[in-house]
Amino acid sequence: MDIIFGRNRKEQLEPVRAKVTGKIPAWLQGTLLRNGPGMHTVGESRYNHWFDGLALLHSFTIRDGEVYYRSKYLRSDTYNANIEANRIVVSEFGTMAYPDPCKNIFSKAFSYLSHTIPDFTDNCLINIMKCGEDFYATSETNYIRKINPQTLETLEKVDYRKYVAVNLATSHPHYDEAGNVLNMGTSIVEKGKTKYVIFKIPATVPEGKKQGKSPWKHTEVFCSIPSRSLLSPSYYHSFGVTENYVIFLEQPFRLDILKMATAYIRRMSWASCLAFHREEKTYIHIIDQRTRHPVQTKFYTDAMVVFHHVNAYEEDGCIVFDVIAYEDNSLYQLFYLANLNQDFKENSRLTSVPTLRRFAVPLHVDKNAGVGSNLIKVASTTATALKEEDGQVYCQPEFLYQGLELPRVNYAHNGKQYRYVFAAGVQWSPIPTKIIKYDILTKSSLKWREDDCWPAEPLFVPAPGAKDEDDGVILSAIVSTDPQKLPFLLILDAKSFTELARASVDVDMHMDLHGLFITDMDWDTKKQAASEEQQDRASDCHGAPLT
């Protein structure tokens, strides 16, 4: 598996035309923009974990049945510092970088102190976020990097902390119909408190506010949830939303702040400060978006680890939410590069298979309901919520499907009732071997797979004027361990899951993590906004807009 995970990838700075077989739908016009780790060694130094690798952006631009590919490393401060030193000098979550051994004792002491509350990396390798008319490479630290989605050029660095007090933030924000961004982050021991902060970034500067300023300056804290532990906040990778509520899982997969503060001097990585406490509960927090306050009832379920929420919606006085859950934290452990070698099959066996689980949470608890009674009356799920003597509610899920990860849905149904999950198929190995369409209503599935092919997260793109939830295509970047098979962009009919086309490229393509599709309409809007901004500036300078 070193051919996929351990080897550094070459950039493809200039667009290269793909060889297309099959027929791309005429309506499919735009760019698939993806992000993931691409460089795992710098000089003689090597990262420990696959999620530590330097971010490599790549894109497939689809125009009139033709496809063009390009890739470029994110020129983060981390990338530039490492390349200049010809070794890893900036710490990542699974790899701690150390000062030059030639430094004197005072320099070393300063380095240790500076890592007590670490200034995290800006190696933004996980996802792409759209904010207003701009696009950002993101990770789970307080830094994101603005990028040019056409040229993949790296632009300015944004520090969340300038706008909201968070040290960590998810790479899976949600967007409302106006394009406003809703995200979550963790504020570590800020003014003596550790809390989970939900915040909102407007797509545009609100009316009545001074125009010309960045929407970032109008970021607002939506709600804060105190951590159950001051020094051991929960790790989370995503969260769920419905039309009126936010769902946050405070799981017993926790980050030990005291260990993190001393990790540098102990010569340990920050990842070593994460621990799963299987004897503890997973707490389900429900936040009302209208009042911006948590629902008072305490909901919980058994210990589990969730990286990806799938979707959530409201039905008959309940919130129904779907997640991909594990029984433990083995997924993260298996992506250490030492395990992704020739002994991959022996080293990389999950101790729990990712399972699509459906939970149901009652929004109003009947005070007259008996202890032990099931508060869920929704006919569409067998999930239960049992009232306990102390007023808490114990939620037990319905198990829908085993072997899914990297789930996506038709985003028009995000936060609403939906039917289909598009995901990568995995079993005892964490590496996807197929693409799956799961029908929640019929409990049936369709699959695509091909020998020696390893698909990335499948992304759904709706057809113009689509009426059915699955009317559109699935896009996935595919790499292969067969040296005779070029990497390619796969295009599936989302209804039938039959292959419509593939675009093969003779490039050194990497396996990525997440991304998004930018339609030509998005480009037109961005161009129009840029033109209007240019006119506004001209008006400010000369008293009248340019003509």
Question: Binding site residues for Fe cation, as ranges?
Answer: 172, 237, 308, 514
Amino acid at 32: L
Are 215 and 134 in contact by the 8 Å Cβ rule? The answer is no
* Per-residue exposure over 365-379, b if at least 16 CB sit within 10 Å of its own CB, e if not: beeeeeeeeebbeee
Is the distance from CB of 20 to CB of 67 less than 8 angstroms?
yes
Most distant pair of Cα atoms in the chain: their distance: 73
* Cα(52)–Cα(43) distance, integer angstroms: 16
Considering only CA atoms, give the Rg of the chain.
23
Residue 160 CB partners (closer than 8 Å, separation 6+)? 142, 143, 144, 166, 169, 185
Q: How far apart are CA 251 and CA 186, in angstroms?
A: 14
Amino acid (1-letter code) at residue 238: S
Q: CB–CB of 225/196 below 8 Å?
A: yes
- What are the residue ranges of helices labelled H in 336-423? 344-347
**Inter-residue contact 270 to 246 (CB < 8 Å):** no
Q: Distance (Å, rounded) from C-alpha 522 to C-alpha 529?
A: 10
Dihedral (Cα; 109, 115, 120, 122), 10-degree rounding: 10
Q: Indicate the annotated binding residues.
A: 172, 237, 308, 514
Q: Residue 482: is it exposed, middle or buried by C-beta count within 10 angstroms (0-12/13-18/19+)? A: exposed
* Angstrom distances, CA of residue 67 to CA of 15, 61, 527: 9, 5, 22
Nearest to 57 by CA among 18, 12, 8, 16: 12
466-470: long-range pairs with CB below 8 Å, 24+: 468/495, 469/410, 469/412, 469/413, 469/418, 469/419, 469/420, 470/410, 470/419, 470/420, 470/437, 470/494, 470/495
Cβ contacts of residue 195 below 8 Å, gap of 6+? 186, 187, 224, 225, 226, 227
- Euclidean distance between CA atoms 464 and 531, whole angstroms: 26
